[in-house]
């Protein structure tokens, strides 16, 4: 035992005699990083004003009376390097506090961001701070793009130049590419909540991909019903990112609210959305009557309007006669199919009309539903428009049952989100 203790003590003494290992030196901006900033800033030899501040050279702040004779590019680079050192000090302090180690290209991207933006992003409330704090390994590429890209405003407006620069900085951070070229393309949506509030008003999405989740806004005493595009269309999560968009929140006032539905009802988001679109309405007494059956005339009208067909001219007879003829013309109804527009519609017929309106052929029989092999119901099930009811371990469609107003609201919204409406 004494021998063991002696060996341990000797080892400790030996280790204590070794020189302490120096900690890694803080990073500094690389020459490539400086060139990146210079390329995006551009050189101006005389002072200029932007946003109430005076700048010169490569976007370095100065006083209005400074440099009356202008400066050379050499002097501009000197001023840039001095300003960058201040950015580095703040950035290194933050990284040290968070215990974060960055690659050189990641560091250079954040120096570029800090040089133009200042230190706002270093607040614990920012998304970029959150990514660094919880660990970059837990952040997706899209998280990084949105964390950097959100800082794209000038004078309260989205700046196309800043959007491009933010995307270039995000690309540099993610890939190490200093060229600013060959970036994966992203499109942004600028969300205007009007008199409401939201956390982030600019969100980026990969080009060609479905939006998926869309943020919500809040406004005391009002109900948020979606986002309206500049051409008057309600944005759908199934829409794909094909261009930059500016959208505005749609709010339902207390007077628009239906008295017999509640936010806890499963159909609430569907009904609310359709009310906002003016695609469905309540009764004169302010009720929606979600459990009331839908008639054939009502169902045809709602389906045809959902796929974008215009309201038909009145025939002077039954209010639904025009919709019936329109449905025949477009193949939603069989040519000689007779319907009673005032009769409650069967669920099987809703499936058939909805599938045909979306150009979805019937599928071959299968055992998805325990109570039907209807090909149209199966087609709609497989594209997520109908779900059926699960009971006793089996799924039921109830094809002969009538469809309620709540149920058709869900069908219509899922049709809008299907991506099948041109």
Question: How far is it, in rounded angstroms, from Cα 302 to Cα 316?
Answer: 20
Single out the residue in 117, 139, 161 at which a domain terminates. 139
Single out the residue in 139, 174, 203 at which a domain terminates. 139
> Quick check: is 4 in a domain?
no
Q: Write out pLDDT tens, residues 308-323.
A: 898 898 877 899 999 9
Single out the residue in 139, 157, 184 at which a domain terminates. 139
Q: Write out pLDDT tens, residues 319-352.
A: 999 999 999 999 999 988 889 999 999 999 999 9
- Angle between helix axes 73-98 and 31-41 (nearest 10 degrees) is 120
> Quick check: is 275 in a domain?
yes
Mean pLDDT in the chain?
89
CATH number reported for the structural domain that contains residue 61 in this entry: 1.10.530.40
Whether the CB-CB separation of 192 and 249 falls below 8 Å is answered with yes
Question: How far is it, in rounded angstroms, from Cα 306 to Cα 327?
Answer: 13
User: What pLDDT shows up at residue 23?
Assistant: 46
> Quick check: is 277 in a domain?
yes
Tens place of pLDDT per residue across the chain (422 aa): 334 334 343 433 333 444 444 445 789 999 999 999 999 999 999 999 988 899 999 999 999 999 999 999 999 999 999 999 999 999 999 999 999 999 999 999 999 999 999 999 999 999 999 999 999 999 999 999 999 999 999 888 899 999 999 999 999 999 999 987 756 689 999 999 999 999 889 999 999 988 888 898 999 988 888 898 998 777 888 788 999 999 999 888 766 778 888 878 999 888 888 887 778 888 888 899 999 999 999 999 999 999 989 889 887 789 999 999 999 999 999 988 889 999 999 999 999 999 999 999 999 999 999 999 999 999 999 999 999 999 999 999 999 999 999 999 999 999 988 888 86
Residues 266 and 397 in one domain: yes
Whether the CB-CB separation of 252 and 275 falls below 8 Å is answered with yes
> Quick check: is 105 in a domain?
yes
> Quick check: is 145 in a domain?
no
Residues 267 and 409 in one domain: yes
> Quick check: is 121 in a domain?
yes
Whether the CB-CB separation of 101 and 95 falls below 8 Å is answered with yes
User: What pLDDT shows up at residue 20?
Assistant: 40
- Residue 22 per-residue DSSP state: P
> Quick check: is 409 in a domain?
yes
The answer to whether the predicted template modeling score (pTM) of the entire model surpasses 0.85 is no
- Give the distance between the most distant pair of CA atoms in the chain: 111
- Domain range enclosing 266: 258-416
Strand bridging mode 223-228 / 394-396: unpaired
Residues 264 and 409 in one domain: yes
Residues 410 and 263 in one domain: yes
> Quick check: is 173 in a domain?
no
At 380, list the tokens.
């709609």
The domain total for the chain is 2
């Amino acid at each position: 035992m004494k021998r063991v203790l002696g060996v341990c003590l000797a080892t400790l003494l030996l280790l204590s005699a070794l020189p302490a290992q120096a900690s890694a030196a803080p990073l500094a901006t690389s020459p490539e990083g400086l060139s990146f900033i210079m390329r995006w800033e551009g050189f101006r030899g005389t002072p200029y004003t932007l946003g109430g501040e005076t700048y010169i050279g490569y976007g370095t702040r100065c006083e209005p009376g400074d440099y009356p004779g202008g400066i050379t590019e050499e002097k501009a680079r000197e001023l840039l390097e001095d300003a960058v050192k201040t950015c580095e000090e703040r950035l290194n302090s933050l990284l040290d506090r968070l215990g974060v180690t960055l690659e050189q290209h990641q560091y250079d991207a954040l120096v570029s961001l800090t040089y133009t933006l200042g230190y706002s992003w270093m607040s614990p409330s920012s998304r970029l701070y959150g990514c660094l704090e919880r660990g970059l390994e837990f952040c997706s590429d899209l998280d990084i793009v949105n964390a950097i890209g959100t800082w794209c405003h000038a004078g309260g407006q989205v700046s196309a130049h800043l959007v491009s620069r933010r995307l270039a900085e995000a690309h540099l951070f993610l890939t190490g590419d200093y060229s600013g070229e060959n970036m994966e393309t992203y499109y942004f949506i600028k969300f205007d909540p009007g008199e409401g509030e939201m956390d982030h008003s600019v969100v980026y999405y990969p080009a060609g991909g479905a939006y998926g989740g869309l943020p919500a806004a809040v406004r005391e005493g009002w109900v948020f019903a979606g986002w309206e595009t500049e051409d008057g269309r309600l944005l759908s999560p199934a829409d794909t990112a094909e261009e930059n968009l500016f959208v505005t929140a749609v709010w339902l006032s207390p007077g628009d609210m239906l008295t017999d539905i509640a936010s806890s009802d499963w159909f609430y988001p569907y009904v609310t959305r359709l009310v906002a679109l003016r695609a469905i309405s309540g009764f004169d007494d302010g009720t929606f009557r979600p459990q009331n059956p839908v008639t054939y005339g009502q169902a045809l009208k709602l389906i045809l309007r959902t796929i974008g067909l215009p309201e038909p001219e009145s025939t002077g007879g039954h209010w639904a006669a025009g919709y019936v003829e329109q449905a025949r013309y477009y193949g939603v109804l069989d040519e000689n199919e007779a319907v009673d527009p005032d009769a409650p519609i069967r669920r099987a017929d809703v499936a058939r009309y909805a599938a045909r309106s979306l150009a979805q052929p019937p599928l071959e029989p299968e055992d998805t539903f325990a109570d039907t092999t209807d090909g149209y119901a199966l087609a709609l099930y497989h594209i997520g428009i109908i779900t059926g009811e699960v009971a006793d371990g089996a799924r039921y469609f109830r094809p002969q049952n009538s469809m309620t107003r709540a149920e058709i609201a869900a069908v219509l919204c899922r049709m809008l989100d299907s991506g099948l409406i041109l």
